[in-house]
Every structure is written in structure tokens, then in C-alpha cells.
Amino acid sequence: MKRVNKNRIKKDPPIKQVKQENKQTALSGGGYNDKVIAYRDLHIHALFSSLGRMIATPFSSIMTIAVLAIAISLATGFYVVVANIHQLTGSLETSNQISLFLREDVSDTHAKKVVENIRVNQSVQSVKLITKEQALEEFKEYSGFGDAINTIKKNPLPIVLQVLPKNALDEKQGLDDLLKSFKQLPEVDFAQLDLQWVDRLQAIIDVAQLFASLLNILLAAAVLFIIGNTVRLEFYSRRAEVVISKLVGATNAFIRRPFLYTGFWMGFISGVSAWFIVAILMLILRSSVERLSGLYDGAMHLLFLDFAETLFLITASSLLGVLGAWAVLYCELRSTKSQ
Amino acid sequence: MTMIDFSNVTKRYEETGDVLRNVSFELEKGEMAFLTGHSGAGKSTLLRLIAAMERCSRGQIIVDGEDLSLAKESQLPFIRRKMGFIYQDYKLLHDRTVFDNVALPLIIAGYGHQEVSRRVRASLEKVGLQGKEKKYPLALSGGEQQRVGIARAVVNKPPIIIADEPTGNLDPDLSAEIMNLFRQFQQVGVTILIATHDISLISQMNNRVLKLDHGQLVQS
């Protein structure tokens, strides 16, 4: 279009002198201070009028926010569960002890000799002997089968030696060698490096964590699309207003503003609702988790979102709301440009 | 001083071909003119080009010194603020009061609260609607609604008024009243372009007539 114009201007000698400087200020009102106040008032008005519009249609607002809150609380719930399990493994990671289960025919006195033999090994820090009787007591206490066990005449539990190696966790090879040497002892029925199952658990948690992260991305996308679509519907229902505003000189920023606040409110209210949903779920779960934790020597305290995480949750959902609304408006305003 | 300047303006649509062909005319400051022609002659398209809701395919349109085809998209709202638009269907917001409808251009332009209030009242007084600020448009008669539309168009004191069939829905008495208002604006130096096919109205007023026929200006 510009090229055509230039050609035309070259052909026609009486060129119109065109002022191309921006006359924005000439037709905007008032002094600088007034403008700042007017601009602030515009934002305050948009903030509350968009909230007012949502309240004016409570049924659809509540349904949309419920869907959003459930999506966000799912994401938050996964995060909390993973954080709790992570905490659990955190306390387990320090245990790299080796458990040696002795053969059934090994007596307590024999076991003590074995303990002495192991203790001289340079790579061993300490050895703890758990006799059959001690093991049974412990089992009674923690398993909850106390009475049932009393009816068993013969103690089925083996003598256990808990060996704490000197090696640090990362020296896997050393630990493996030590484990092998223990396995070769004639008194040992079965030797197990506790680290193995910690490793496995850690790997499982890593998978869960990755899964939760992917799921959270999907849920964030869902929130974005739901808010985007809601704002799009709102935009269509207020199309007359948009067109009229445009005709009387509204900038795209002016037209966008109330819709962005709608997105903000939806994200914000959904974020706060999600926090409450997760809090209620946690309250329901708490007593069960505490009982479970008690069985594991209180290794686990139920973690909930701290202040920073709560702030992040609400900020992130509000931002998602604004972003969803902005993306939709960007496309819609581009397409209404020529209409 | 030329306020609206069309030079060889052509508007072509993919589907319908040329809607306007080589249209050239100038409107001076304080001039009032009628734009007429059969329906489909291109009147609405011409008004949409002035309103910068669309861009011309060829030629040059200059409104109060701004070349619309060279203006950036972000500049167009500020160019539109130089013009007040009046429509046959009034284009009022029915969920807002008369006051809020008239205030819209001022709020968009960023005027402070007091200034908005003062100007809206002055504008409503000008069209004879004082005391109706708190009413909703649908509670008003057709003539009153059109005057709300006019109050909104002039509240920002634009140098140009564009009216599209402003009397289309009004009886002759009301039409004469509206035309009288336009004449008053013209007297204070506002450039006015009125699109209409109301021949009797045009003949009553002794103004310049731009006549479009199949996209070409046959009388100017």
C-alpha cells in the first residue's frame, strides 16, 4: 500500500504536505497529574467492574471457577504428595546400613562371635546385634500383631546383625564388595544393603516427580484454555461495546483491560479456592498419615504449603488467568481489525 | 484549511471488486456536505475509510493532516478521536446510563473525573437532554436516543463530525431539529459529512452534495 502511495505522489505534482507527527497528546485530556489519576481510576474501575460482571452471572462464574479450582488443586495436590514422599526419603537416605540375616541354626553365642569377627573389618564402623527375642519384641510393638504372635510357639524370626559401613554413600563399589564378603560368611543366610531399596524408592519418586511435573504442565495448559475460552465468550457477548469503543477512539489496550482483569479474577479466585480444597483434603488425610508416621518412628510429618508456596500458587494462577485472557484478546482484536 | 482530503481513492474487495473507484474530493474546515447515492453505491465504505476502520486499496486519504494509509495501526485510535461518529441505529450501550454513554470518548481519552462530568453535562445541554443523565437509552424516545448519540459524538469537541443516516429513523420534525444542531456545530467551525438518501432533507438545506454512483463520484 505504501509503495503505491509513493508512486502516486511522484506522478502528481501537487503533493499534500502530510504531518506525520503523533498528535496523541493534543486530543487526550487534562494535565499530567489529572491523567495519572484518570489512568489509575480506569484500572480501579476495570478491576471492580470485571468482578461485578462475574458476580452478576453467579451460576456460570461459579461453574467456571469450580473447574479451574479443581484443576489447580489437582496440580497442587500432586506437588504436596511428592513433597511429602520426598521428605520421607530424605530421612532414609542417610541409612546405608547392611542387614545380615543369620541362619536359623546359629545360636546367640555364635552370633556374638560373628559380630566380633565383623567388627575387626576395617571398613566397618559398627555392628549391632538384634537377637531373636529383641526382634520379636520389636515386631510385636510395631506390627500390631502382638496378640497373634503370642500364640506362635516357636519364634520364626532370625538373628539380625545391623552393620554400618565406614564408606560414604557414593562409594558404591566399596559397599558392594563388603556386601559380597558378608554373603560368603557361612552363618549368613541373606545379606541386604538397605541402600538398594532406598535407591529404588528414590528412582520411583523421581519418576513420580517427573510425572507430577508433566501433569502440572498439562493442568496449567487446561487452566489457560478454560480461562481463554471464557474470556472469548465474554468478548463476544460484549462485542457491541468493543466496536463502539473502537469507533470513539479506544486503543487496543483500553479494550483489552477489563477482559484482562476478568482473567485475573478467575485465576486469583480459582487459586485461592484450590488452596482451600487442598487444605481440606489434607485435614481429612492428617490423622491417617500421622498414624502411618507413628509406625515409622515419626519419620514423616505431613507437609502443607508454606507461605512462599501459597504465594506462588496464587500468583501463578492469577498470571495464568491474565495470560490466557491476553492470548485470546490478541487474536480476537487482530481479527476484528478489519471488520 | 482542508480537513478531509480524498485523492483517487479506490477500495477493492476480493469478493465484490471495486466498491469505490478513483474518488477525489476535499472538505474544508467548517464545511457541511451531504453524501448521497443509491444503496450499495459505496457510502458506508467511504465512511468506514474515513473512520480508519478499513484502509483504501489505492489513493490517499488525509484527515486533519494525517495520512490514513501511512498511519500505524497504533496511531489510528488517536486519529479517530478527531472525529465524532453518528449512526442511524445510534450505537448506544444499553447497559449504561446516558451519562456513561456520552462520557465514553472522554474516559477513553483519559480525562479526569471532574472534566468528564463538566463536559458531559455541557454536551447534553447542547442537545437538549439535561436532566436525563441517569436514564438508560431504552427509556428514551428515538429522537432522544439519537441526540445522546450526537452528544457523545461532540463531547470531545472533535473538528470533524461524520453522520451515517442520522435521520433515518426519525420523523421530519425531529430530522429538522437534528439538522439544526448540525448547523450550529458547523457555525463553530466543525466539518460535517452526512450520508443520507433523504432527498427532501437535502433539498431543504442548501449544502454541497457529494453523489456516489456505483463507486464513482458523479457530483461533488
Between A9 and B135, the more confident residue is B135
Q: Domain for residue B90, yes or no?
A: no
**Are B127 and B181 contacting, i.e. CB atoms less than 8 angstroms apart?**
yes
Instruction: Tell me how far apart the alpha carbons of residues A212 and B128 are, in angstroms, rounded to a whole number.
Output: 66
Instruction: Tell me how far apart the alpha carbons of residues B11 and B61 are, in angstroms, rounded to a whole number.
Output: 12
DSSP A291-307: HHHHHTTT--------H
Question: pLDDT-based confidence at A335, cuts 50/70/90?
Answer: confident
pLDDT at A21: 40
Q: pLDDT tens digits for A178-213? A: 788 888 888 888 887 776 677 777 788 888 889 889
Instruction: Tell me how far apart the alpha carbons of residues A83 and A291 are, in angstroms, rounded to a whole number.
Output: 19
Mean pLDDT over all residues of chain B? 91
- Which residues in chain A touch residue B110, judged by CB atoms under 8 angstroms apart? 28-30, 35, 38-39, 42
3-state secondary structure of A157: coil
Question: pLDDT-based confidence at A337, cuts 50/70/90?
Answer: low
Enter the C-alpha cell of residue A330. 490478541
- Alpha-carbon separation of residue A291 from A126, A297, A298 (angstroms): 31, 10, 9
CB atoms near residue B83 (< 10 Å): 25
Question: Does pLDDT of A74 surpass 50?
Answer: yes
User: How does DSSP classify residue A193?
Assistant: E
HEC profile for chain B?
Answer: CEEEEEEEEEEEECCCEEEEEEEEEEEECCCEEEEEECCCCCHHHHHHHHCCCCCCCEEEEEECCEECCCCCHHHHHHHHCCEEEEECCCCCCCCCCHHHHHHHHHHHHCCCHHHHHHHHHHHHHHCCCCCCCCCCHHHCCHHHHHHHHHHHHHCCCCCEEEEECCCCCCCHHHHHHHHHHHHHHHHCCCEEEEECCCHHHHHHCCCEEEEEECCEEEEC
Q: pLDDT tens digits for A130-175? A: 888 888 777 777 666 667 777 777 777 888 888 887 755 456 677 7
CB atoms near residue A160 (< 10 Å): 19
A249/B66 CB distance under 8 A: no
Give CA angle at B124 (B199, B84), nearest 5°.
55
* Mutation choice for B interface testing from A49, A248, A335 by most B CBs within 10 A: A248
What whole-number percentage of chain A has pLDDT above 90? 31
Domain shared by B178 and B195, yes or no: yes
CA of B204 to nearest chain A CA: how many angstroms apart? 30
Question: pLDDT-based confidence at B154, cuts 50/70/90?
Answer: very high
Give A162's strand partners. A99, A128
Q: pLDDT tens digits for A232-291? A: 999 999 988 999 999 999 999 999 999 999 999 999 999 999 999 999 999 998 888 888
Q: CA nearest B93: which of A253, A49, A24?
A: A49
Choosing from B133, B157, B181, the residue where a domain stops is B157
pLDDT at A119: 82
- Across residues B3-19, what is the average pLDDT? 91
A243: nearest CA partner in chain B: B91
Instruction: Tell me how far apart the alpha carbons of residues B93 and B184 are, in angstroms, rounded to a whole number.
Output: 26
3-state secondary structure of A188: strand
**Are A18 and B70 contacting, i.e. CB atoms less than 8 angstroms apart?**
yes
Enumerate residues 6+ apart whose C-beta is below 8 A from A83.
A303
B115/A240 CB distance under 8 A: no
Q: Which of B5, B73, B104 sits opposite A248 (nearest CB)?
A: B104
- By DSSP bridging, strand B58-63 and strand B66-67 are antiparallel
- Across residues B109-131, what is the average pLDDT? 91
pLDDT at A101: 86
pLDDT at A277: 95
B103: nearest CA partner in chain A: A248
Question: Does pLDDT of A228 surpass 90?
Answer: yes
Domain shared by B36 and B129, yes or no: no
Instruction: Tell me how far apart the alpha carbons of residues B47 and B158 are, in angstroms, rounded to a whole number.
Output: 16
- Which residues in chain A touch residue B5, judged by CB atoms under 8 angstroms apart? 16
User: Residues A35, A40, A46, A47: what is their CA dihedral angle, to the nearest 10 degrees?
Assistant: 180
- What is the dotted CATH code of the domain comprising A98-195? 3.30.70.3040
Domain shared by B38 and B135, yes or no: no
Least confident residue range of A11-20, A203-212, A253-262, B179-188: A11-20
Q: Domain for residue B87, yes or no?
A: no
**Are B205 and B199 contacting, i.e. CB atoms less than 8 angstroms apart?**
no
For chain A, the straight-line distance linking the first and the last C-alpha, in angstroms and rounded, comes to 19
User: How does DSSP classify residue A187?
Assistant: T
Question: Does pLDDT of B188 surpass 80?
Answer: yes
Give B32's strand partners. B192
CA of B199 to nearest chain A CA: how many angstroms apart? 28
Domain shared by B120 and B182, yes or no: no
Question: Does pLDDT of A221 surpass 50?
Answer: yes
Q: Domain for residue B148, yes or no?
A: yes
Domain shared by B165 and B214, yes or no: yes
Instruction: Tell me how far apart the alpha carbons of residues B172 and B180 are, in angstroms, rounded to a whole number.
Output: 12
pLDDT at A136: 79
Question: pLDDT-based confidence at B56, cuts 50/70/90?
Answer: very high
CATH assignment of the domain containing B17? 3.40.50.300
pLDDT at A130: 84
Instruction: Tell me how far apart the alpha carbons of residues B190 and B33 are, in angstroms, rounded to a whole number.
Output: 11
Question: pLDDT-based confidence at B22, cuts 50/70/90?
Answer: very high
Question: pLDDT-based confidence at A1, cuts 50/70/90?
Answer: very low
Q: Domain for residue B34, yes or no?
A: yes
- Across residues B146-159, what is the average pLDDT? 93
Whether B118 has its CB under 8 Å from any CB of chain A: the answer is: no
Q: Domain for residue B89, yes or no?
A: no
Whether A173 has its CB under 8 Å from any CB of chain B: the answer is: no
Question: Does pLDDT of A16 surpass 50?
Answer: no
Q: Domain for residue B163, yes or no?
A: yes
**Are A25 and B78 contacting, i.e. CB atoms less than 8 angstroms apart?**
no
Domain shared by B164 and B75, yes or no: yes
Question: Does pLDDT of A220 surpass 90?
Answer: yes
Whether B53 has its CB under 8 Å from any CB of chain A: the answer is: yes
pLDDT at A110: 84
- Alpha-carbon separation of residue B174 from B143, B145, B153 (angstroms): 6, 12, 18
Half-sphere exposure of B113 (CA within 13 A, CB side): 5
B2: nearest CA partner in chain A: A16
pLDDT at B194: 93
Q: CA nearest A216: which of A116, A90, A326, A313?
A: A313
CB atoms near residue B181 (< 10 Å): 21
Give the domain range for residue B129. 97-157
B90: nearest CA partner in chain A: A244
**Are B47 and B68 contacting, i.e. CB atoms less than 8 angstroms apart?**
no
Question: Does pLDDT of A92 surpass 70?
Answer: no
Least confident residue range of A163-172, B129-138, B175-184: A163-172
Between A122 and A91, the more confident residue is A122
Strands (E), A134-246: 160-165, 188-193
Ranges of CATH 3.30.70.3040 domains, chain A: 98-195
Enter the C-alpha cell of residue B120. 458531559
Q: Which of B5, B105, B152 sits opposite A16 (nearest CB)?
A: B5
Q: pLDDT tens digits for A292-306? A: 777 766 666 778 888
User: How does DSSP classify residue A322?
Assistant: H
Instruction: Tell me how far apart the alpha carbons of residues B202 and A114 are, in angstroms, rounded to a whole number.
Output: 120
Number of domain units in chain B: 2
Q: Which of A5, A245, A249 sits opposite B70 (nearest CB)?
A: A5
Domain shared by B152 and B168, yes or no: no
Enter the C-alpha cell of residue B203. 433539498
Question: Does pLDDT of A8 surpass 80?
Answer: no
- By DSSP bridging, strand B216-219 and strand B66-67 are unpaired
- Across residues B45-68, what is the average pLDDT? 92
CA of B62 to nearest chain A CA: how many angstroms apart? 8
- Across residues A5-12, what is the average pLDDT? 42
Question: pLDDT-based confidence at A17, cuts 50/70/90?
Answer: very low
